[in-house]
Amino acid sequence: MTTAHATLVRWLVDPARQEELLGDLEELAGRGTGRFWLDVASVCMRQSRVVAAARTPSRLAAALAVVAALTLGSTAPTLRTVRAVDPAGEFTLEFAGARVVGATLDGAPVPPHRLIQQPGRLVIRGGGDAGNDLNIRLASNGAFYWRARSPRPTTRP
Amino acid sequence: MARIGAFEELVLLAVGGLAGEGYGVTIQSDLERETGDTISLGAVYATLDRLERKGLLRSRMGPATAERGGRRKRLYRITPDGAAAVREMQRIRARLGGPSPHPASA
């Protein structure tokens, strides 16, 4: 279960029911994404403190619309930036879900045309040793692996 | 005696079959396995809550477990009234059932 799922449940669900519902969803997190979202959304809608607080049909309809919008909106992938270091220096990768949407090398943004993404693999053109490509393997669990680059020769003034 | 709907009856049967150790995930899993339908966790909990309000189920918090991130389960047990409601539904069905329905011949 991601932080987004847990935050959504904590925000929407009756606090008295959160422990067992979050625990159940934790057990169900290995299901397919669509199926898991069905369970998260159904719990948010049917155990919602927002819906419970609405006593008239119009307020209930408004509350359901808010819950639905929040549930659908939270399916947007969250951005995370991962910093990596090897002997040549530092680089970062910015992920939207499992997809890399940005990168930096030594603090400088890498232009999009130098980022080549394929299933399970990312290439940063010219990001490796001696101007070669930096090849990065992307694992399904969000980790990534690369061959450490060599230290750069120090330049003399 | 409290009247129950078809889905409520299925939930009561699933809870009864799990002998006091049933909770959201296992009840949902048993219902899906036996009906072949996709049943959302929210629908299961909404029905469990309604049956508990009617006095047909009782719940208690179980121990915390690691695979649930240290969170406890809410375990459900069928009450005598719940068992009676299921038996009543089965009696009604048996009285109404008789031979399998078939279309009238032309």
- CA A113/CA A87 separation, integer angstroms: 25
Q: What string of DSSP letters covers B49-71?
A: HHHHHTTSEEEEEEEEEGGGTTE
Regions of chain B short of the pLDDT cut 70? 1, 98-106
Mean pLDDT of A131-140: 87
Q: What is the pLDDT of residue A106?
A: 84
The backbone torsions φ and ψ at residue B19, rounded to the nearest 5 degrees and listed phi first, read 50, 50
Q: What is the pLDDT of residue A9?
A: 80
Asked if the C-beta of A24 comes within 8 angstroms of chain B's C-beta atoms, the answer is: yes
Answer whether residue A53 shows pLDDT above 70: no
Answer whether residue A75 shows pLDDT above 60: no
Handedness of CA B38, B43, B48, B50 (dihedral sign): negative
Name chain B contacts of A3, Cβ cutoff 8 Å.
Answer: none
Q: What is the pLDDT of residue A70?
A: 61
Which residue among B42, B73, B74 sits closest to A43, beta carbon to beta carbon? B42
Tokens, residue A126: 């010219």
Q: What is the pLDDT of residue A26?
A: 85
Q: How far is A32 from chain B (nearest CA, A)?
A: 13
Q: What confidence tier does A92 reach under pLDDT thresholds 50, 70, 90? A: confident
